[in-house]
Amino acid sequence: METAPRIEFDGLEPTEKVREDVAGYVAGLEDRFGRITACHVVVRSPGEHHRSGGLYEVNIRLALPDGREINVGCTPGADERHGDIHFAVHDAFRRARRQLQDQVRRLRGQTKTHEP
């Protein structure tokens, strides 16, 4: 990575385990794909709203070569599993890994393009 990953926690004081998990997921993406130029992760605590209280929100922004970006906004809907911070982080990075795989295929020219 050209710049150090930025990891922020909004509205909560994370445990050492959560910090290690997030850093491990970021390192895993970098090891697997190696072309990430920047990474910004924000983990937000559960909101005060009565309908969505207790659910964590995780946003990930990855910058790739040629000005490409991957933005994962894992805003929980009615999924109660996002009440667990470890599940919310894992789910967001799973989505980021999938989108990153698709972008890497495009960068390598491994996807079909339709002729006009």
Distance CA 32, CA 26 (A): 10
**What are 28's two structure tokens?**
């895993």
pLDDT, one tens digit for every residue, the chain (116 residues):
788 899 999 988 889 999 999 999 999 999 888 888 999 999 998 866 545 457 888 999 999 888 889 999 866 666 788 888 899 999 999 999 999 988 888 777 766 666 77
Angle between helices 85-108 and 16-33 (to 10 degrees): 10
Residue 40 three-state SS = strand
Residue at token pair 């990430």 = 36
pTM: 0.82
The number of residues in the chain equals 116
75 within 8 A of 92, measured Cβ to Cβ: no
Sketch out the chain's domains with CATH numbers.
6-108 (3.30.160.100)
